[in-house]
Homo-oligomer: A and B are copies of this chain.
Amino acid sequence: MKKAVILLSGGVDSTTTLAVAQRDGFECYAISFDYGQRHRYELQVSAAVAERMSVKRHLTVPVDLRGIGGSALTDDVEVPTDRNAEDMAEDIPATYVPARNTIFLSIALGWAEVLGAFDIFFGANAVDYSGYPDCRPEYISAFESLANLATKAGVEAAGQFRVHAPLLLLAKADIIRTGVALGVDYRNTYSCYAPADDGAACGRCDSCLLRLKGFEDAGIADPTRYQSV
């Protein structure tokens, strides 16, 4: 059974990506990051998703990006709310964490090399996150090339590393449909950038709005627990 490393935050996209990797027959090693995100709830959720979906192993790597700054997800900066799709697509959002995907993929690559895995899955999406440069197809190809030059395994195996982004060109509704078809229980996933202390989603940040619209477009009931306002 081929091994794969899956970047897992416990949100809709990464959880669906994990289900896709399992469907494709990989033995799955999930990796999450404690990067100083303001909302620690994400760490519990990714661990719970990993356990429920019976991954082979789940690793949470501490990498403290708060010293670097520059993002509403790690700094004490307000997460934008109630934006429409046009505003979201307009430019790079305040929630962009500089070089985050590159940092996470690099650490996943290191773990893959140790495990003897050549496949890395991540839930990048170029449709909803069009403002994030590190969610574009050309970025993913570039990282794949780098992976094969950067590692002992890549050099010896002559370019076998693959970065899979199976959701890259899917709309949120299609992602949710895919996941539901694969048996994902989205009740256990988490998307909110600014949840309440008890973990209830705000329903107003970009991530909640994309999730709400995705379920609506898919015609599937959203099992998320939102804050009552």
List residues of chain A with CB under 8 Å of any chain B CB: 59-65, 67-70, 92, 96-103, 105-107, 109-111, 113-114, 133-134, 136, 138-139, 142-143, 145-147, 149-152, 154-155
Identify 18 new A-B residue pairs, CB closer than 8 A, beyond the known A102-B147, A103-B103, A139-B146: A60-B67, A61-B64, A62-B64, A97-B110, A98-B109, A98-B113, A98-B114, A99-B107, A100-B110, A101-B150, A102-B106, A102-B109, A133-B150, A133-B152, A142-B145, A142-B149, A145-B145, A146-B146
A145 to B149, CA, bound (A): 13
**In the bound complex, what is the Cα–Cα distance between A8 and B172 (angstroms)?**
42
Complex contacts, A110 vs chain B, CB 8 Å: 65, 68, 70, 97-100, 102-103
With a cutoff of 8 Å between Cβ atoms, the chain B residues found around residue A151 in the complex are: 98-99, 133-134
- Measured in the bound complex, the distance between the Cα atoms of B133 and A147 in whole Å is 10
> How many identical subunits does the complex contain?
2
**Beta-carbon contact of B68 and A152 below 8 Å:** no
Once A62-B63, A114-B68 are accepted as A-B contacts, the answer to whether A138 and B134 lie under 8 Å apart by CB is no
* Contact residues in B for A102 (Cβ distance below 8 Å): 106, 109-110, 146-147, 150
| Residues of chain B contacted by A139 (CB below 8 angstroms) | 146, 149-150
